[in-house]
Amino acid sequence: MIRNSIRYIVVLATISVLGILLLQFLFLKKAIDINEKKFQEDITTSLYNVARDLIEYNNKVYGQKTKINEMCLVEQISSNYFVVNVNHVIDPELLEYHLVSNFRKNHIKLDFEYAIYDCETDKMANGKLIRAESIFNVSQSNGADSLDECSQEEIVFNELHNGGRKVAKMKKCELPKCQKYMYYFGVNFPSRSVFFHSRLKPWYFVTSLLLIVLLFFGYSLYTIIKQRRLSEVQKNFINNLTHEFKTPIASISLAAKVLSEPKIIEQPGRLADYARIILEQNKRLSSQVEKVLQMASIEKKRLQLKIDPVELNSFIEKTIGEFKSSQNGNLCNIQFHSGISNAGINADTLHFSNLIFNILDNAVKYCEDSPEIHVRLAGEAKSYTISFADNGIGIPREFRKKIFARFYRIPTGDVHNVKGFGLGLDYVKKIADRHGWKIRIEDNSPKGTIFIVKIPKK
């Protein structure tokens, strides 16, 4: 029930987090769309006003009566580039003056470059780049709002009618042309993206905070799940530990109760049997306690290896012989096959023999039939491989990455038909890693498992 509750909480929390994240990105997209629309409106309005001012000036100077709404057309060619149709001659200095004035008026603090289409050369000419800083840092003495000095329109008008008009040197510009119009100018905003994203900084900041919160939430969720799994593993370990200790303690208790009877002295054979039971169960308890203490010692401090030269053929044969003399070793048939000779490595002999013992012991414990184990030694170009093939119950693929974890045992419910704490393969993995060896698991068709240890040549 508790496990299902936690699972439901995790699912609901994940859905909530994804929903919040989705809403935030929708709000961000909406803000981007609004700012994009506002930017286009501000630029279009400013350029329309520039075109209107130029047309009004041309009507005044040349005596024309051009209707502004008919001739003034602002067209957006790309996200950065706009063209404005004026349908009359355009003075570069006057154009710059009106562009700066209208951009300042609409608070468009953005670098821009402009150019005027030249009919004679069929080029965009009189190009110039205006920095945003210069738009908003114009002194009052140079501004058009000063009452004591002439405006830019008045200066150009006087130069034109006094015969002293300055002819600007035509400069080529890389701005693209527009085939629709004859008299027009183009305005490009090279730093538009920077300006555009600067308006969205508050949204970016809020989104970043939300992502950080979600990361912390995800980490907390991961920690909770990890602690829950660790709690389950520890619970299973305690259950296994209780089960492993319960049987020998009960046997010792029963034997001690029998030995406490006065008449047991009259039956020396029975007395010897119960004494032997106590001794065997005591050894079993000591062995289990030693495993726990050994793993605790390895976890507490870095494992120190005593490296010695080892010849694999003789060492494996010797270790197999010692295992056959053990309680589980008497129950199995172990065959050793070697295709090489004089296979020398450097290893800690004590821990290496324990590694082999643990693998062989698991092969015997997890076998429902008569255990058959084939140990093979083979050589490769840069390494040796030792394989342990058994005919046991096998290891499902989904558990193969977990079985090397401490205290982990393949789930069997409340059935404890195989004794152990889940420490053996954890010890095997640590010893292999400490030596710099590799260990992996494969299927042994049609039944069983193959443990393969890969040892680099010295």
Confidence at residue 169, expressed as pLDDT on a 0 to 100 scale: 43
Torsion angle defined by CA atoms of residues 76, 77, 82 and 85, in that order, rounded to the nearest 10 degrees? -90
The DSSP letter of residue 232 is H
Confidence at residue 167, expressed as pLDDT on a 0 to 100 scale: 41
The DSSP letter of residue 137 is -
Q: How far apart are CA 389 and CA 334, in angstroms?
A: 10
Q: pLDDT tens, position by position, for the chain (458 residues)?
A: 555 676 777 778 778 878 887 887 888 788 888 888 888 888 888 998 898 888 888 888 777 666 665 556 888 888 889 999 888 788 888 898 899 989 888 888 888 899 998 888 888 888 888 887 777 664 433 433 333 334 444 444 444 444 444 444 444 457 888 888 888 899 998 877 776 677 677 777 887 888 888 788 878 878 877 777 777 767 766 766 675 676 678 778 888 888 888 887 878 888 888 888 888 778 777 776 776 666 666 655 566 778 899 999 999 999 998 888 776 677 788 999 998 888 899 998 888 988 898 888 888 888 878 888 999 999 888 899 999 999 888 887 777 777 777 666 665 554 445 555 566 788 888 889 889 999 998 888 778 899 999 999 87
Tally Cβ neighbours within 10 Å of residue 305: 16
- R_g of the chain, CA atoms, integer Å: 44
Cα 294–Cα 300–Cα 302 angle in degrees, nearest 5: 90
Q: Which residues of 52-85 are buried (b: 16+ CB within 10 A; e: fewer)?
A: bbbbebbeebeeeeeeeeebbbbbeeeeebbbbb
- Half-sphere exposure at residue 424, Cβ-oriented, CA atoms within 13 angstroms: 20
3-state secondary structure at position 167: coil
The DSSP letter of residue 187 is E
Query: Token pair for residue 90?
Result: 């355009």
In the numeric block, the tokens 């090279």 are attached to 190
Query: Token pair for residue 366?
Result: 């997890």
Q: Indicate the helix (H) or strand (E) that contains 387.
A: strand 383-389
Please give the C-alpha separations between residue 458 and each of 308, 311, 319, in angstroms, as whole numbers. Answer: 12, 11, 21
Query: Token pair for residue 249?
Result: 């303690």
In the numeric block, the tokens 């704490």 are attached to 421
Q: What are phi and psi of 189, to 5 degrees?
A: -115, 90
Q: Are 66 and 58 in contact (CB under 8 A)?
A: yes
Q: How far apart are CA 358 and CA 372, in angstroms?
A: 16
Torsion angle defined by CA atoms of residues 97, 98, 99 and 105, in that order, rounded to the nearest 10 degrees? 110
Closest to 433 (Cα-Cα) out of 355, 349, 344, 319:
355
Q: Are 117 and 184 in contact (CB under 8 A)?
A: yes
Evaluate if pTM is beyond 0.75: no
Which is it for strands 449-456 and 438-443: parallel, antiparallel or unpaired?
A: antiparallel
User: Residue 153, class by beta-carbon neighbours within 10 Å (0-12 exposed, 13-18 middle, 19+ buried)?
Assistant: buried
Confidence at residue 384, expressed as pLDDT on a 0 to 100 scale: 93
Q: Are 93 and 157 in contact (CB under 8 A)?
A: no
User: Residue 116, class by beta-carbon neighbours within 10 Å (0-12 exposed, 13-18 middle, 19+ buried)?
Assistant: buried
Q: All domains of the chain, ordered by start, with CATH?
A: 2-199 (no CATH), 202-300 (1.10.287.130), 308-456 (3.30.565.10)
Closest to 115 (Cα-Cα) out of 182, 160, 176, 50:
176
